[in-house]
């Protein structure tokens, strides 16, 4: 154990001047022999090598943060936009440092890093000493602040993540760029896209590891494109600052990344309802008609969106008073009928109107981004010439947040941040370079000062931050709901997201599933796609299948572009309307389960959507088949239909003790089996894992509509299992003070009798007074509820018991 003071390496100190290592494949310089090992604190070590320094911090025992200071240069700052300022990690107290002849070894109980003394190349090992990843050339630096990291990729390694990239889930073999881009008309493999999330999860021989390279600049990830055995990240000019995360499972790694970049706060329950959007509902009458039709036709719906035409000439924080003479009245009436209103806010502030208060107020206070000479930057978007707030300045965020006062007073419940890559059409009439600000435009960067090249990828995230903080100040009793198009790592702390301007094609339906799964891996648990496809016009079948996919994605929002045919779910004929109604009804039935999964994401960072490789990293069949089957929460496996004309198909059910039950038919199948599923147009293939209490609500008009009867489907199976359900008021923060209901259903099953104990935490009463307990596949001989004989019914090979909230349920089998 090295004493916690500066310590020289045993040999080599003060010898020949530091020699850098050989250049990497791109001519960047690399580290040389370790000349000094400096222990800076309990959880930090600095390695001096080849005139450069490598700083290793252990934010917790499964995470190591590595920063490079090139010769004469500095380390990246301690705090970054990505890092959760209220982190769930504690620097580990258990770091052991051993300086040996050949290597320096840094070890915690969950992770170890071995640095070779001769090259300072690193090798990362998991808790069992398995080498999860190692340096190829390692950390490297070039001219003018360039920096890179090269790691080795092994032949059978898979790489996931990188946010919304519309390419195969396994990212291996391609090169990607992280540069937030308004990618209207994007297609498969378009890159870069709206989001810049430099996060990946690798799986090698079933073992997971995570990497986050914290650079806000235009970074490039080459995942074995140039050389199949090399993963190289070019930071785009930021000092190298990366994090490696170890974990026992890929999901554990995703949780580790979420300890570093943060989790979603608890969202209002209505965020999980069905949302209706359109670019744009043009006036009050149109909005009222859509709302009325939704109700009359029996569609549950929680939110209606106001796209850009609600504003007066696209001036943010105004209303077009001809089209919307009484916004508060309209929003109030909608609210009385269970609809929340979500209003769009773009960053551009109309600059050419001397009467427009927001514009000159911002100008006078210095809130807008400027050129290096101090002149405000003006670029054209929807309102014409616009100023752009500098969301990387704290005072500007505060000002912007407060600008929502009027909208909040009108009753708006959520805010939709669009165009925040930031997108710019033209600058002085000339097409904007790469559709954004000129790179020399200045930003505050929270006091540090910098250019747009550095601020670009966090611009949208900081806008979302300003918005959510503003809503928290203006409506402290409400949980903010923000949806943002652009995002950087950590944006989940401020907002949800959608996948931008997709198209009404079958391939885009598949891309939508893929993008939401990748976003979840990359730390953004709450996402969705424009159901039906933003551009173009889906036919009924595509629309129906997209509504079914929407049932599964956390954000379930129907949206469509201006000048496309309208997209409300009754516009495709009776058959499709009834399929769509069924899909929305299923979503509302699943709400208690989905809300529990949301709570889990907010509590420990486990994503709601889980691509199969995250759960079954070593399953070869998962690898070959079913790339777009996925878990929703811990126990529901979805095989959405993403192919035209598909009315039956083979689906793969991975390993699960006790197997799987079809949600719709009750048919039981063993784990690790392929089964043939009927997939008529009205069927969304769903399987429930054994050992689950699946809570279901009645279909209803909106998420907060009270209900009397909760259904608990008890899927028996293993000898012991447990399952959870979470509930709270659906909004507000009282749950932080105990106003919640968290049930653990703990089951023991010896084959003759199944006993389920329900242990409850929190002081909120149980959801619903009547519980309908259904046990598919169980034929009861007797049922005891809290020790007393209870009447039951057996039908269709299952048992049904009416109970209230119980403490114990005992079912003797025939």
Provide the annotated active-site residues.
418, 421, 501
Q: For residue 204, list its beta bridge partners.
A: 207
Beta-strand pair 340-345/303-306? parallel
116 vs 260: CA distance, rounded Å: 27
With contact defined as beta carbons under 8 Å apart, do 537 and 562 qualify?
Answer: no
Is position 418 an interface residue for ligand MIG (rule: CB under 6 A)?
yes
With respect to ligand MIG, which residue has the nearer C-beta, 269 or 559?
A: 559
Interactions with ligand MIG, residue window 776-795 (CB under 6 A): none
Rounded to a whole number of angstroms, the minimum distance from the CB of residue 812 to ligand MIG is 56
Kindly report the number of other CB atoms within 10 A of residue 705's CB atom: 14
C-beta closer to ligand MIG: residue 141 or 306: 306
Q: Using CA atoms, how far apart are residues 20 and 10, in angstroms rounded to an integer?
A: 19
- Give residue for tokens 């403490």: 807
- Evaluate whether 520 touches 195 at the Cβ level (below 8 Å): no
Shortest reach from residue 17's CB to ligand MIG, in Å: 56
Near ligand MIG in 542-571, by CB under 6 A: 559
List all residues 6 or more positions away from 460 whose beta carbon is below 8 Å from its beta carbon.
180, 417, 420, 421, 422, 484, 485, 486, 487, 488, 491
Number of residues forming the site for ligand MIG (CB under 6 A): 10
Which one, 232 or 559, has the nearer CB to ligand MIG? 559
Q: State the minimum distance, in angstroms, from the CB of residue 584 to ligand MIG.
A: 21
- The verdict on 307 binding ligand MIG (CB under 6 A) reads yes
Q: How far is the CB of 404 from ligand MIG (least distance, A)?
A: 18
**Which residues are within 8 A (CB) of 281 and not within 5 positions of it... i.e. 6 or more apart?**
287, 290, 304, 305, 306, 307, 309, 310
Per-residue CA distances from 430 to 252, 333, 379, 419 (Å):
48, 44, 10, 18
DSSP 8-state secondary structure symbol assigned to residue 271: G
- Tally of CB atoms within 10 A around 307: 20
Before 192, cis peptide (omega within 30)? yes
Comparison of 80 and 564: residue with beta carbon closer to ligand MIG: 564
| Binder of ligand MIG out of 244, 308, 445, 487 (CB under 6 A) | 308
| Complex with ligand MIG: residue 534 or 631, whichever CB lies closer | 534
Q: How far is the CB of 526 from ligand MIG (least distance, A)?
A: 17
Is residue 501 at the binding interface for ligand MIG, with CB under 6 A as the rule? yes
- Pairing between β-strand 770-775 and β-strand 780-785 as defined by DSSP bridges: unpaired
Tell me the C-alpha distance between 708 and 697, whole Å: 9
CA distance 229 to 25: 12
Distance of closest approach, residue 397 Cβ to ligand MIG, in angstroms: 22
Distance, in Å, from the CA atom of 745 to the CA atom of 757, rounded to the nearest integer, reads 6
Q: Which is nearer to ligand MIG, 284 or 307 (CB)?
A: 307
Q: 680-683 long-range contacts, Cβ below 8 Å, gap at least 24?
A: 680/647, 681/541, 681/544, 681/545, 681/575, 681/579, 681/647, 682/544, 682/578, 682/579, 682/582, 683/641
Token pair 């749950």 is found at: 735
State how beta strands 414-417 and 340-345 pair.
parallel
Footprint on residues 635-694 left by ligand MIG (CB under 6 A)? none
Residue 80 or 535 having the CB closest to ligand MIG: 535
At its nearest, how many Å lie between ligand MIG and the CB of residue 382? 7
Looking at beta carbons only, is 56 or 463 nearer to ligand MIG? 463
| CB burial readout 321-346, b (16+ within 10 A) else e | eebbeebeebbebbeeebbbbbbbbb
Residue 532 in the binding site for ligand MIG (CB under 6 A): no
Q: Cβ closer to ligand MIG: 452 or 559?
A: 559
User: Which position among 273, 389, 470, 500 is part of the footprint of ligand MIG (CB under 6 A)?
Assistant: 500
- To the nearest whole angstrom, how small is the minimum distance from the Cβ of residue 279 to ligand MIG? 3
Q: By C-beta, is 181 or 799 nearer to ligand MIG? A: 181
Residue 728 and residue 735 in contact, taking contact as beta carbons nearer than 8 Å? yes
CB of 344 vs ligand MIG, minimal distance in Å: 6
Cα separations in angstroms, 544 against 262, 300, 526: 35, 16, 22
Distance CA 92, CA 88 (A): 12
* Closest separation in Å from C-beta 503 to ligand MIG: 12
Compute the least distance from the CB of residue 533 to ligand MIG, in Å: 12
Find the binder of ligand MIG among 232, 259, 397, 485 (CB under 6 A): 485
Q: Would you say 456 or 559 has its CB closer to ligand MIG?
A: 559
Residue from the set 47, 68, 211, 344 that interacts with ligand MIG by CB under 6 A: 344
**DSSP conformation letters of 641-699:** --STT--EEEEEE---TT-EEETTT--EE-SSEEEEEE--TT---EEEESSEEEEEPPP
Residue 42 Cβ, how far from ligand MIG at the closest point, in Å? 47
Residue nearest to ligand MIG (CB): 279
Among 209, 279, 459, 588, which residue interacts with ligand MIG (rule: CB under 6 A)?
A: 279
Backbone angles phi, psi at 141, to 5 degrees: -140, 150
Which residues on adjacent β-strands are paired with residue 527? 497
- Among positions 172-231, residues that touch ligand MIG (CB under 6 A) are none
Residue 34: cis peptide before it, omega within 30 degrees of 0: no
As a three-state string, the secondary structure of 730-791 is CCCCHHHHCCEEEEEEEEEECCCEEEEEEEEECCCCCCCCEEEEEECCCCEEEEEECCEECC
Q: Which uninterrupted H or E stretch holds 241?
A: strand 241-246
Say what angle helices 327-336 and 284-296 make with each other, to 10 degrees. Answer: 0
For residue 34, give the DSSP letter: E
Separation in Å, CA 561 to CA 503, 555, 565? 10, 18, 9
H helix count then E strand count, the chain = 12, 56
Shortest CB 130 distance to ligand MIG, Å:
43
Instruction: Output 561 or 699, the one with its CB closest to ligand MIG.
Output: 561
Nearer Cβ to ligand MIG (562/814): 562
Site residues, ligand MIG (CB under 6 A): 279, 307-308, 344, 418-419, 485, 500-501, 559
């Amino acid at each position: 154990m090295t004493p916690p003071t500066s310590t020289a390496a045993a040999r080599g100190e003060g010898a020949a001047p530091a020699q850098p290592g050989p250049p990497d494949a791109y001519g960047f310089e690399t580290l040389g022999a370790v000349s000094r090992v400096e222990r800076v604190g309990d959880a930090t070590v600095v390695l001096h090598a080849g005139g450069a320094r490598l700083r290793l911090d252990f934010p917790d025992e499964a995470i190591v943060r590595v920063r490079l200071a090139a010769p004469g240069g500095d380390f990246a700052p301690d705090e970054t936009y990505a890092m959760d300022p209220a982190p769930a990690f504690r620097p580990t107290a258990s770091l052991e440092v051993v300086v040996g002849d050949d290597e320096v070894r840094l070890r915690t109980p969950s992770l170890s890093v071995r640095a070779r003394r001769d090259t300072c190349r690193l090798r990362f090992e998991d808790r069992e000493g398995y080498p999860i990843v190692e340096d190829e050339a390692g950390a490297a630096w070039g001219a003018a602040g360039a920096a890179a990291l090269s790691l080795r990729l092994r032949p059978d390694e898979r790489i996931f993540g990188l946010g919304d990239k519309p390419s195969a889930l396994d990212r291996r073999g391609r090169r990607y760029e992280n540069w937030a881009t308004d990618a209207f008309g994007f297609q498969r493999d378009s890159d870069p896209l709206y989001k810049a999330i430099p996060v990946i999860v690798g799986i090698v021989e079933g073992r997971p590891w995570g990497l986050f390279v914290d650079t806000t600049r235009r970074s490039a990830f080459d995942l074995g494109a140039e050389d199949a055995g090399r993963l190289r990240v070019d930071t785009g000019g930021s000092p190298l600052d990366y994090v490696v995360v170890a974990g026992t499972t890929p999901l554990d790694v995703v949780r580790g990344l979420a300890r570093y970049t943060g989790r979603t706060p608890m969202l209002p329950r209505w965020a999980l309802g069905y949302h209706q959007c359109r670019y744009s509902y043009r006036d009050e009458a149109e909005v009222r008609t859509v709302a009325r039709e939704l109700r009359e036709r029996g569609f549950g719906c929680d939110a209606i969106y106001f796209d850009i035409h609600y504003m007066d000439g696209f001036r943010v924080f105004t209303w077009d008073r001809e089209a919307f003479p009484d916004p508060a009245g309209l929003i109030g009436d909608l609210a009385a009928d269970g609809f929340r209103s979500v209003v769009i806010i773009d960053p551009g502030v109309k600059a050419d109107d001397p009467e427009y208060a927001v514009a000159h107020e911002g100008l006078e206070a210095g809130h807008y981004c400027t050129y290096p000479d101090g002149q405000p930057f003006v670029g054209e978007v929807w309102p014409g010439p616009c100023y752009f707030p500098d969301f990387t300045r704290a005072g500007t965020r505060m000002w912007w947040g407060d600008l929502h006062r009027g909208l909040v007073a009108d009753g708006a419940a959520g805010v939709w941040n669009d165009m925040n890559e930031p997108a710019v059409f033209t600058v002085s009439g000339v097409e904007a370079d790469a559709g954004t600000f000129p790179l020399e435009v200045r930003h505050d960067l929270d006091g540090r000062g910098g250019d747009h090249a550095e601020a670009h990828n966090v611009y949208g995230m900081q806008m979302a931050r300003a918005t959510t903080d503003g809503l928290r100040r203006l409506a402290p009793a409400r949980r903010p709901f923000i949806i943002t198009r652009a995002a950087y790592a950590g944006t989940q702390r401020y907002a949800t997201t959608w996948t931008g301007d997709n198209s009404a094609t079958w391939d885009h339906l598949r891309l939508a599933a893929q993008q939401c799964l990748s976003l979840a891996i990359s730390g953004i648990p709450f996402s969705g796609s424009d159901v039906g496809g933003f551009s173009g016009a889906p036919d009924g079948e595509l629309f129906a299948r997209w509504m079914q996919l929407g049932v599964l994605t956390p954000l379930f929002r129907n949206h469509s572009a201006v000048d496309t045919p309208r997209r409300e779910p009754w516009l495709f004929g009776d058959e499709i309307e009834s399929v769509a109604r069924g899909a929305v009804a299923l979503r509302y039935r699943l709400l208690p389960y989905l809300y529990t999964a949301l709570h889990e994401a907010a509590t420990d960072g486990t994503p709601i959507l889980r691509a199969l490789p995250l759960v079954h990293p070593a399953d070869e069949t998962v690898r070959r088949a079913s790339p777009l089957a996925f878990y929703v929460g811990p126990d529901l496996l979805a095989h959405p239909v993403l192919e035209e004309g598909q009315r039956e198909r083979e689906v793969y059910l991975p390993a699960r003790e006790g197997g799987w039950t079809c949600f719709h038919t009750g048919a039981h199948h063993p784990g690790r089996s392929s089964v043939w599923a009927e997939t008529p147009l009205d069927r969304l293939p769903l399987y429930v894992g054994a050992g689950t209490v699946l809570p279901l609500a009645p279909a209803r008009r909106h998420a907060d509509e009270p209900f009397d009867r909760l259904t608990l489907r008890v899927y028996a199976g293993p000898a012991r299992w447990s399952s959870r359900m979470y509930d709270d008021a659906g909004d507000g923060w009282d749950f932080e003070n105990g106003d919640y209901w968290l049930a653990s259903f703990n089951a023991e099953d010896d084959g003759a009798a199944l006993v389920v104990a329900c242990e409850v935490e929190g002081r909120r009463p149980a959801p619903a007074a009547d519980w309908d307990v259904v046990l598919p596949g169980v034929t009861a001989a007797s049922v005891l509820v809290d020790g007393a004989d209870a009447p039951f019914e057996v039908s269709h090979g299952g048992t049904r018991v009416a109970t209230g909230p119980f403490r114990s349920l005992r079912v003797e089998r025939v």
